[in-house]
Structure 1
Amino acid sequence: MKILVIGSGGREHALAHHISQSEQVEEVFVIPGNDAMANVATVVRDIDETDQSKIADFASSYNIDWVIIGPEQPLIDGLTDVLTAQGIKVFGPNKEAAQIEGSKSFAKQLMKKYDIPTAAYEIISTKEQALAFLKNHSAPIVLKQDGLAAGKGVVVAMTEQDALNAIEEFYADGDTEVVFEEFLEGEEFSLMVFVNEEFIIPFDCIAQDHKRVYNGDTGPNTGGMGAYCPVTHFDPTILTKTNEQISMPISQAMKKEGLEYFGLLYIGVIITVEGPKVIEFNARFGDPECQVLLTRLETDFIDILNALEAKKPIQLSWSEDTVVGVVLASKGYPKSYIKGVSVEGYDGELDYYISGLKQDNGWKTDGGRVMLALGKGRTLEEAVHASYLNVERIKSDGLFYRTDIAHLGIKNNG
């Protein structure tokens, strides 16, 4: 079997690595990949992930059995539609179904229609309306840009000034849809669910990521500064409630709406006093949650795909280890940052998943989030220690990282 992974980040590095371990897989290709992925796959750097026709030609000429789309943009752009029209099997929803991530207003309206628990909201299109709304709705309040923003188009405004600053930023170029949500109190987690229309295979292991850029969950939102799994300090019934109240209903809702969803649905969940509620949906694996979850997952990914396609249940198997991942990011991220800074200490080891490195007389930074250092252990504390040992092996003047990844797990387990 030949597999083609689309994408160039740490999530795709982890997917390619996990899939390459399957005895059913002869070869894994990655388009466009990055220089570090050569340790697990054949990297095809001369095709861009936006070039749908070249990707389709490649998949046909190389007799690819499955195309697995990692990032959100190719899904939103309809790559799945182009490939399936040529008879190529794709893991990743089509353009219409991917709206659940591509449009926050679409997702909120779908949840409202089908009574799926989420924060109360208002969709506002002009700056004037937004300022008027703020006068009647005091902070804290959450503002979300409609459309894709790589995890950074969300402002949790704890003060009125924070909200005013966000309004100025979001409407700087004129009218646009912004979702204003009530602020929800509670702890968050990430649930991954394999979906084939109304049939689902939920992960029975959840992860917790860290969206804020600085220690103590402060600063602006990012694509994610670290993650760990499993999360053991929640009441075990929370996962059951989440699947009963969110995972199954949203899959059934999409089916009723005529959305042919086949792929991975990411559910960002917050546990409130009223129970689990949806923070956001993504139409693909979360990053960096994917890296820690797949490191712990022992079930063959191809077996999961086959079960999903046939709509047959499958019992997932997990390592007994706890897994922690710490993101090393370019200084300045999530705002402007400099590329091309030297990085030493990395030599292709699979204790790291790479999202922003390139070979140029040594390793140089080539993105905002550069790499994720993994750690495994029998306890969360052991895994945290192991991950930061791997962080310390990396030497660069251009990187920074949080020093408190998994702090909620350690606090609550204690």
Structure 2
Amino acid sequence: MKKVMVIGSGAREHTIAKTFLKSSKVQEVVVVPGNPGMGAPGITTKVLDTNDFASLIKFAQDEAISLTFVGNEVPLVAGIVDAFNNAHLAIFGPKQQAAQLEGSKAFMKRILTENEIPTAKSITVTSLAAAQQAVTEIGYPVVIKTDELAAGKGVSIHQEKIETSEFLEFMYQKNLNHKLIIEEYLAGFEFSLFSFVGKNQIVNAPLAHDYKRRFAGDKGPNTGGMGSYSPVAQVSDTDLSRTISELVLPTIAALKKEKIDYEGVLYTGVMLTKNGPKVIEYNVRLGDPETQVVLPQLESDFYDLITGLLQGKAVKPKWQTKNKFVGVVLSDPDYPIKTSGQHELPKFKEQLDVDIASCEIEAGNLYSHGGRVLTVVNAGTTMEIARDLIYHELDRINTKLAYRSDIAELSDKKEAID
């Protein structure tokens, strides 16, 4: 029996751990650092610094870890895969050089534009004057992105000149040489594609749609994600095929031209425009909260899938096709601006799946400890059935935690980038 280590602490990592534990080959999953809400038979947590690679490697060696799966982007960008490879430990994720696809938006845009991979027109700038000029050139509405990692919140959309000027001045007061990407606004329907990339094979998961804005109706600031659903009926087989052939495969080939071999999860954030699919962003790990509605659809062995991809073996995963999955995120009421304090985590009906993101334990009870607190997930033969039980239960428990009331409600409509 095998022991697996998952790197991360959120609801995404909780889902990953539970998916590994379904394997008949896996006896235990250790989530590092995890959180107190993950405690369950077969899942343990270990508090270690996820950027202290020497300690992680020693722990993996001491505990005879067979496979490490990295959920969080920060250690990937810092080079955890390179460190584990040097220690001859099995780990799934891209190496540091490849992880720059998420670590630097400027790097990503260069790869896309130089290889004519469809994406929004953009200009990379490092001064206030250049940023103001770029906004004029791109026109409104305009999207402004920070170059570095920003936990899914480094994107803002601007509609008019005065507000944009104030925003840019604020950004450059903090750092005179701040690197920003000034980008055209794309209209259409947004969706996410997870590709598991191995030595000789790519496995694509069911599509998901994510809700990034804090409030219903896509209002308020960007967050790390307030909910999601999967599969995504709005994307046709033709559009999915184009996404893979025109975006995913050319990107992997473009990296290979630069002597960068990509292995691990490639998350493609796609805008389906009137001119076809275009890349909004790339992430180098599974997305949160999309993971919570995608991985439960895997009916075959997750451990076999990942180890097979690492070893270059042919894998044939099986995904369910009968049900629709909906996930609603519960957050601190003041998220993403701040966190107001501890709120007791509600108890849900057993038929609902709950993935815990951030909590602490006190006198045997779990309390919120951070922005996004948990994701509650349900499956049903229709999207309406899947979501209705979640919202009926949320009405019943009357929690102080906050959530959007419209997750999966607009699943038959097309939405602009949020």
Whether TM exceeds 0.5 here: the answer is yes
Task: Name the counterpart of 2:325.
Answer: 323
Task: Name the counterpart of 1:181.
Answer: 183
**Corresponding residue SS for 1:264:** strand
Q: Quote how far apart the aligned CAs of 1:350 are.
A: 6.4
Task: Name the counterpart of 1:375.
Answer: 378
**Corresponding residue SS for 1:139:** coil
Distance 1:157 1:9, change over 3 A: same
8 A contact 2:355–2:376 mirrored in 1: yes
Q: Are 2:402 and 1:400 equivalent residues in the alignment?
A: yes
Task: Name the counterpart of 2:87.
Answer: 86
Q: Are 2:389 and 1:386 equivalent residues in the alignment?
A: yes
Deviation by residue 1:375-397 (Cα, 9 ceiling, x = unmatched): 11100100111222343455543
For 1:46 and 1:308, the matched residues in 2 are separated by: 29
Task: Name the counterpart of 1:24.
Answer: 25
For 1:14 and 1:141, the matched residues in 2 are separated by: 35
For 2:296 and 2:235, the matched residues in 1 are separated by: 21
Q: Which runs of 5+ in 1 are unaligned?
A: none
**Corresponding residue SS for 1:98:** helix
8 A contact 1:326–1:391 mirrored in 2: no
Distance 1:295 1:104, change over 3 A: same
RMSD, matched Cα: 1.9
For 1:146 and 1:197, the matched residues in 2 are separated by: 29
Task: Name the counterpart of 2:47.
Answer: 46
Q: Quote how far apart the aligned CAs of 1:315 are.
A: 4.2
Q: Quote how far apart the aligned CAs of 1:192 are.
A: 0.2
Task: Name the counterpart of 2:356.
Answer: 354
Distance 1:353 1:81, change over 3 A: same
Task: Name the counterpart of 1:11.
Answer: 12
Once the two structures are overlaid, the 10-residue window that deviates more, 55-64 or 155-164, is 155-164
Deviation by residue 1:226-246 (Cα, 9 ceiling, x = unmatched): 000011122221111100101
**Corresponding residue SS for 1:280:** strand
Give the TM-score of the pair, scaled to structure 2: 0.93
Q: Quote how far apart the aligned CAs of 1:78 are.
A: 1.1
Distance 1:99 1:311, change over 3 A: farther
For 1:111 and 1:311, the matched residues in 2 are separated by: 29
- The one-letter code sitting in structure 2 at the alignment partner of 1:52 is F
Listed as ranges, the matches of 1:128-207 within 5 Å are: 128-174=129-175, 175-196=177-198, 199-203=201-205, 205-207=206-208
For 2:242 and 2:160, the matched residues in 1 are separated by: 32
8 A contact 2:81–2:94 mirrored in 1: yes
Deviation by residue 1:186-231 (Cα, 9 ceiling, x = unmatched): 110000001136742222x100000111111121111000000011
Task: Name the counterpart of 2:314.
Answer: 312
8 A contact 1:16–1:41 mirrored in 2: no
For 1:40 and 1:262, the matched residues in 2 are separated by: 31
Task: Name the counterpart of 1:335.
Answer: 337
Deviation by residue 1:116-161 (Cα, 9 ceiling, x = unmatched): 1100110010112212333344310110000100111100112334
Task: Name the counterpart of 1:286.
Answer: 287
Q: Quote how far apart the aligned CAs of 1:40 are.
A: 5.3
Deviation by residue 1:268-289 (Cα, 9 ceiling, x = unmatched): 0001111100000000000000
For 2:350 and 2:335, the matched residues in 1 are separated by: 24
For 2:9 and 2:79, the matched residues in 1 are separated by: 18
For 2:101 and 2:211, the matched residues in 1 are separated by: 22
Give the TM-score of the pair, scaled to structure 1: 0.94
For 2:215 and 2:404, the matched residues in 1 are separated by: 6
- The one-letter code sitting in structure 2 at the alignment partner of 1:326 is V
For 1:169 and 1:131, the matched residues in 2 are separated by: 13
Distance 1:402 1:59, change over 3 A: same
For 2:237 and 2:390, the matched residues in 1 are separated by: 26
- The one-letter code sitting in structure 2 at the alignment partner of 1:334 is P
Once the two structures are overlaid, the 10-residue window that deviates more, 232-241 or 178-187, is 232-241
For 1:100 and 1:197, the matched residues in 2 are separated by: 18
- The one-letter code sitting in structure 1 at the alignment partner of 2:60 is A
Structure 1 stretches (4+) deviating beyond 4 angstroms?
346-350
Distance 1:319 1:300, change over 3 A: farther
Once the two structures are overlaid, the 10-residue window that deviates more, 75-84 or 344-353, is 344-353
Deviation by residue 1:299-343 (Cα, 9 ceiling, x = unmatched): 211121133221525243225111100000101111112232333
* Aligned-residue identity in percent: 38
8 A contact 2:352–2:378 mirrored in 1: no
**Corresponding residue SS for 2:173:** coil
Number of aligned residue pairs: give it. Answer: 410
Q: Quote how far apart the aligned CAs of 1:42 are.
A: 3.8
For 2:200 and 2:126, the matched residues in 1 are separated by: 33
